[in-house]
Amino acid sequence: MRTAMELAGFDERVAIVTGATGGIGRAVMKSLHDAGAVVAALDRDAAACAALAREIGAGAHGYGLDLRRADDIDPVVDRVERDLGPIACLVNVAGVLVAAPALETDAAAWDAMFDVNARGAFLVSRAVARRMLPRRQGGIVTVASNAAGVPRHGMAAYAASKAAAVMITRSLGLELGRHGIRCNVVAPGSTRTAMLSALWRDPSDEAQVIAGSLETFKPGIPLGRIGEPQDVANAVLFLLSDQAAHVTMAVVAVDGGAAQTT
């Protein structure tokens, strides 16, 4: 039996996912594939991309791409279209986080986050949108963070880079809407990924994140649990699907209500 998402426009469409080998990227890859899309995994580690494609199965493909190497982006996007066909969907998942107080954040850490989180998302979106433009259809979703709209202790540079990614995506949506290309944002909160667990130092940290912290002005999570990568993937699929045909420039929070309590 075909799923509702398969009937919503993914069957045989080509989708690119950056940061595909991370927790959220893998969930997005698998969900798009399960919905009938032909999926291309893009990440720095070409071997890991190839392994993920083998794990997912027929219709999944891996391509090595370091988003910091701007000159490599267009050739890889061209290769995907030659190998798989016209790109219908792009999901910008790739992201890095260096957590530190603002006054202790050095220029290298700032540059690292902006290079991937903002500049990388812009360059890939530009490359893909240029190819979508003459076809007058396509969908782009950027996975940002609820930190883009809510101040966070120790995350000034990360939050700024994600805020930039949000506005890049929404501005693209404004420019490209009349050409049939929709651009939206998913803003996760604390989600069970390697990036989050790297911040934890104690078994009680997960409970502390859910409860929130008055000392650091961090709200808790009203739904009472850490998000799962699949929660984010579900929102991405909706925004790319024909069910969201009249949705563009939206920012969808997938954070258990955390950002709504500030």
- Residues designated catalytic: 158
Sheet holding 60-64, edge to edge: 60-64, 38-43, 14-18, 87-92, 138-143, 181-188, 251-254
Whether 43 contacts 18, CB under 8 Å: yes
Q: Which residues pair with 38 in a beta bridge?
A: 14
Whether 188 contacts 145, CB under 8 Å: yes
3 state SS of 88: strand
Whether 242 contacts 8, CB under 8 Å: yes
Q: Pinpoint the alpha helices (H) of the chain.
A: 23-34, 46-56, 70-84, 107-113, 121-132, 156-176, 194-197, 205-211, 229-240
DSSP 190: S
